[in-house]
């Protein structure tokens, strides 16, 4: 099975004089695979995710998203590729405050024709697909269509963000500590729902967190210090 | 999507948006109103004296002569004799000499003693002749012809009897001759010039107005005149005739060419005009600055929002465009509100501007230059919007998907 994401000998430093922050010899995520990455704060995990989604470029190495080499791609094309093939979930403040929850879920489809097409292939309109996802994530689409996102609880906000990442079934969802703001029960429920949808659409999940105990639920659990060779001698 | 994001953001921050729009509307309305009054003044002044080659008055400042003779602003200090008018009338180079005797009024409107020549030879706008909308020129001693604006203040119109007052003021004192009513025999069509606000009587009627009741039966000699408007047989003789009149012996006279004096007037007023325009530009500039600052202050709170947009596929250029479009929408709303506001203001102050400045035309008809003017305003707004847009662009490049403090 082809890799959704693959890094080979990638090196990254924030500036020419700074010590290299990140050196990944080989790392890949397979289609539909759930990968967990844990590591200390400030060690470079978010930086890795920024590289993987084509927002940052490494100084060295090969970096492929669905077989497309990001390092040689113009920045506009990288933005488009991210819009089409990646769903992104932040730790907090995932939603556009000026849009209601339903509009937030639909927003990526306005940027990406590829996502729109995949939704259409399911025989659904974008809004209907969004409603289905919200329902599957145990949210009430009726209520969310009218409510301000700032009035939602953090747990609800994270589920709306998950629905947004899932809509249009991108091959890869990147989640940067999506459960850190949630307490234990809500966190478990959130992961259950996210996993179910990823499985349903065969979406690969790359999730980063401090909380090592989450790792047991994933196909693969990695420690950042094993992956990152920077600073090794 | 771009327009949606920008519009939604503005709606979400309604209060800030509304304040920015109000500030810009204030700036634009001031700028626009002053520009309208300015060009309206030029237009209506220029259209007032179209068919006249020379204006003759007592020795004095040319601009004064122009102002009181055709624009009815201020009063003549000295007068000229009727004999001079007769002399000018008989001059071989002169086609028509229209006498003007001012100094009396009806409810604040000027009463002008003249001859029927006024109605045939006076021209305004692009060489347009005066037209009677009702009635005819005066023939009898107590006949009066009224301008369009005066007619609006009449209760009956043609045939109505008016009591004219000596002197120029809104209220009539007891010097008004209650026993000498004039009859309205003609009403002039609208011209958008001071003619609209004037009443016209024959020269002997002016003399009669100033006479004691007991002397009224004596034959009426002609009154002293305020000015004489000359129309020449041949245009090219104008300079020679002007020189001739300026060196006139029996009485010290000044002859001016209206177009030349008008140009001098604009030069004199130019400084004040420019100061006004500069001030209103400053107000507009400050309102734009206000918008820029408000957008800049907002940026910091919106960095996470930008990161979210980037995460769902927006390019840094899109972020730049969002802010530009926001600035553009705000200023467009401000411009529309400002122009509407300035029209409302002009409309409200029209009577004041008309009576105090003699502005009657041009203010409400949009000119071709207005388009450039508005485009320039939008251009300024775009430039102002570039500052926050550029910073947002830089910021989103630096932030990527992770917003850090500071
Ligand atoms: N824009 C930037 N410019 C310079 N240095 C940066 C920048 N962003 C991050 N860094 C540095 O890179 C290092 C790694 O940051 P990163 O955010 O990737 O850590 P992390 O592993 O995600 O930490 P955490 O678990 O706290 O989120 C940090 O030392 C940070 O100071
Ligand atoms: Mg991080």
Please write the tens of the pLDDT for every residue from B385-406. 999 999 999 988 888 887 776 5
Tokens of B218: 């004596």
The residue with greater pLDDT, B356 or B88, is B88
- Domain ranges across chain B: 2-45+269-401, 54-256
Q: What is the pLDDT of residue B365?
A: 66
Tokens of A111: 């940027």
In CATH, what number is assigned to the domain containing residue A86?
Answer: 3.40.50.300
**% of chain B exceeding 70 in pLDDT:** 89
DSSP-assigned letters across all residues of B224-256: PBSEEEEEESSGGGHHHHHHHHHT-SSS-EEEE
Please write the tens of the pLDDT for every residue from A46-70. 999 999 999 999 999 999 999 999 9
Sheet strands side by side (includes A22-30): A22-30, A3-12, A60-65, A68-69
Mean pLDDT for the stretch of residues B2-27? 91
Mean pLDDT for the stretch of residues B366-385? 83
Asked if A147 is an interface residue toward chain B (Cβ–Cβ < 8 A), one would say: no
Q: What is the pLDDT of residue A164?
A: 93
What are residue B76's phi and psi, to 5 degrees? -70, 140
Burial pattern B184-219, b for ≥16 Cβ within 10 A else e, equals: bbbbbebbbbbbbbbbbbbbbbbbbbeeeeeeeeee
- Residue B7, SS3 per DSSP: helix
C-alpha–C-alpha distance, residues A214 and B78, integer Å = 103
Cβ neighbours of residue B249 under 8 Å, at least 6 residues apart?
Answer: none
Q: What is the pLDDT of residue B172?
A: 47
Cβ-Cβ contacts under 8 Å, A83 against chain B: 312-314
C-alpha–C-alpha distance, residues B394 and B20, integer Å = 24
CB-closest option in B11, B312, B400 to A107: B312
Of the given ranges (A91-105, B126-140, B160-174), which has the lowest mean pLDDT? B160-174
Task: Say if residues A229 and A48 touch (Cβ distance below 8 Å).
Answer: no
**H/E run at residue B114:** strand B109-114
C-alpha–C-alpha distance, residues B323 and B261, integer Å = 51
Tokens of A126: 């974008």
C-alpha–C-alpha distance, residues B356 and B202, integer Å = 26
Cβ-Cβ contacts under 8 Å, A80 against chain B: 313
Task: Give the residue whose CA is nearest to atom 2 of ligand 1.
Answer: A14
Task: Name residue B73's beta-bridge partners.
Answer: none
Does the beta-carbon distance from B12 to A53 stay under 8 Å? no
H helical segments located in A67-167: 75-85, 101-111, 113-121, 126-136, 141-144, 154-166
- Judged against a pLDDT cut of 60, whether residue A1 lies above it is answered with no
- Judged against a pLDDT cut of 60, whether residue B301 lies above it is answered with yes
Does the beta-carbon distance from B308 to A108 stay under 8 Å? no
Q: What is the pLDDT of residue A4?
A: 93
Q: What is the pLDDT of residue A220?
A: 94
Please write the tens of the pLDDT for every residue from A140-159. 888 888 888 888 888 889 88
Pocket test for ligand 1, best of A43, A91, A209, A231 (most atoms within 8 A of CB): A43
Mean pLDDT for the stretch of residues B227-242? 89
Q: What is the pLDDT of residue B218?
A: 60
- Judged against a pLDDT cut of 90, whether residue B205 lies above it is answered with no
CB-closest option in B1, B305, B307 to A110: B1
Number of compact structural domains in chain A:
1
Mutate to test the interface with B, among A53, A70, A73, A79 (most CBs of B within 10 A): A79
**% of chain A exceeding 90 in pLDDT:** 62
Q: What is the pLDDT of residue B174?
A: 46
Mean pLDDT for the stretch of residues B114-120? 90
Q: Which atom of ligand 1 approaches the CA of A47 most closely?
A: 18
A residues 56-95 near B, CB within 8 Å? 56, 75-76, 79-80, 82-84, 88, 90, 93-95
Mean pLDDT for the stretch of residues B186-192? 88
Q: Taking each helix axis from N to C terminus, what angle separates A184-201 and A126-136, rounded to the nearest 10 degrees?
A: 140
What are residue B146's phi and psi, to 5 degrees? -120, 150
The residue range of the domain holding A33 is 3-16+23-232
**Backbone dihedral region of B73: left (phi > 0), alpha (psi from -120 to 50 degrees) or beta?**
beta
- Judged against a pLDDT cut of 90, whether residue A37 lies above it is answered with yes
Does the beta-carbon distance from A96 to B315 stay under 8 Å? no
Which pTM was predicted? 0.77
Please write the tens of the pLDDT for every residue from B272-284. 888 888 888 888 8
Mutate to test the interface with A, among B15, B303, B308, B404 (most CBs of A within 10 A): B308
Q: What is the pLDDT of residue B358?
A: 60
Q: What is the pLDDT of residue B366?
A: 67
Of the given ranges (A53-67, B92-106, B342-356), which has the lowest mean pLDDT? B342-356
Q: What is the pLDDT of residue B362?
A: 57
The residue with greater pLDDT, B56 or B366, is B56
- Mean pLDDT, chain B, rounded, equals 84
Which residues of chain B approach chain A closer than 8 Å at the C-beta? 1, 4-5, 8-9, 11-13, 304-305, 307-317, 400-402
- Mean pLDDT, chain A, rounded, equals 90
DSSP 8-state class, residue B212 = -
Mutate to test the interface with A, among B312, B397, B399, B405 (most CBs of A within 10 A): B312
Predicted confidence band of residue B356 (pLDDT cuts 50, 70, 90) = low
> Chain-centre distance of CA B349, in angstroms?
11
- Judged against a pLDDT cut of 90, whether residue A165 lies above it is answered with yes
List ligand 1's pocket residues with C-beta within 6 A.
A 14, 21, 39, 41-47; B 402
CA nearest to A110 within chain B:
B1
Predicted confidence band of residue A9 (pLDDT cuts 50, 70, 90) = very high
């Amino acid at each position: 099975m082809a890799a959704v994401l693959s890094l080979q000998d990638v090196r990254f430093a924030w500036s020419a004089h700074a010590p290299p922050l990140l050196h990944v010899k080989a790392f890949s995520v397979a289609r539909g695979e759930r990968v967990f990455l844990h590591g200390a704060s400030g060690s470079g995990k978010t930086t890795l995710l920024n590289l993987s989604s084509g927002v940052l470029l490494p100084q060295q190495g090969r970096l492929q998203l669905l077989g497309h080499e990001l390092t040689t791609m113009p920045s506009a094309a990288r933005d488009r590729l991210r819009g089409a093939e990646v769903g992104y979930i932040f730790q907090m403040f995932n939603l556009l405050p000026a849009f209601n929850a339903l509009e937030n879920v639909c927003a990526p489809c306005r940027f990406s024709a590829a996502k729109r097409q995949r939704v259409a292939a399911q025989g659904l309109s974008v809004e209907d697909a969004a409603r289905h996802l919200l329902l599957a994530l145990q949210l009430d689409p009726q209520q969310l269509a009218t409510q301000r996102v700032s009035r939602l609880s953090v747990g609800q906000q994270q589920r709306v963000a998950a629905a947004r990442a899932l809509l249009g079934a991108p091959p890869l969802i990147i989640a940067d500590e999506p459960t850190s703001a949630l307490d234990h029960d809500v966190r478990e429920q959130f992961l259950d729902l996210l996993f179910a949808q990823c499985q349903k659409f065969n979406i690969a999940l790359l999730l980063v967190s401090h909380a090592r105990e989450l790792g047991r639920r994933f196909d693969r659990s990695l420690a950042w210090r094993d992956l990152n060779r920077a600073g090794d001698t | 999507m771009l327009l949606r994001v920008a519009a939604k953001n503005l709606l979400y921050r309604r209060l800030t948006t509304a304040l920015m729009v109000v500030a810009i509307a204030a700036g634009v309305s001031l700028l626009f109103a002053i520009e309208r009054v300015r060009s309206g003044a030029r237009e209506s002044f220029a259209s007032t004296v179209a068919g006249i080659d020379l204006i003759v008055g007592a020795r004095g400042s040319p601009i004064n002569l122009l102002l009181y003779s055709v624009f009815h602003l201020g009063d003549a200090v000295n007068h000229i004799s009727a004999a001079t008018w007769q002399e000018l009338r008989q001059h071989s180079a002169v086609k028509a000499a229209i006498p003007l005797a001012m100094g009396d009024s009806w409810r604040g409107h000027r009463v002008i003693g003249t001859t029927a020549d006024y109605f045939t030879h006076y021209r305004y706008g692009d060489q347009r002749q005066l037209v009677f909308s009702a009635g005819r020129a005066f023939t009898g001693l107590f006949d009066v012809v009224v301008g369009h604006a005066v007619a609006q203040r009449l209760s009956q119109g043609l045939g109505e009897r008016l009591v004219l007052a000596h002197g120029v003021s809104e209220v009539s004192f007891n010097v008004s001759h209650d026993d000498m009513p004039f009859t309205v025999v003609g009403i002039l069509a609208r011209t958008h010039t001071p003619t609209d606000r004037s009443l016209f009587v024959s020269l002997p009627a002016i003399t009669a107005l100033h006479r004691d009741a007991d002397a009224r039966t004596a034959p009426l000699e002609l009154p002293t005149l305020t000015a004489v408007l000359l129309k020449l047989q041949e245009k090219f003789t104008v300079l020679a005739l002007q020189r001739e009149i300026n060196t006139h012996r029996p009485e010290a006279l000044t002859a001016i060419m209206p177009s030349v004096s008008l140009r001098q007037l604009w030069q004199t007023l130019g400084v004040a005009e420019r100061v006004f325009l500069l001030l209103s530009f400053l107000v507009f500039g400050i309102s734009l600055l206000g918008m820029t600052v408000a957008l800049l202050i907002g940026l910091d709170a919106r960095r996470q929002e930008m990161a979210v947009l980037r995460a769902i596929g927006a390019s840094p250029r899109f972020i730049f465009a969002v802010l530009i479009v926001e600035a553009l929408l705000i200023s467009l709303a401000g411009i529309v509100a400002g122009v509407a506001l300035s029209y409302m203001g002009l409309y409200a102050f029209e009577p004041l501007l008309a009576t105090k400045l003699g502005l009657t035309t041009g203010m409400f008809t949009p000119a071709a230059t207005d388009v450039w003017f508005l485009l320039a305003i939008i251009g300024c707004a775009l430039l102002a919007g570039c500052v926050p847009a550029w910073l947002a662009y830089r910021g989103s490049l630096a932030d990527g998907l992770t917003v850090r403090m500071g």
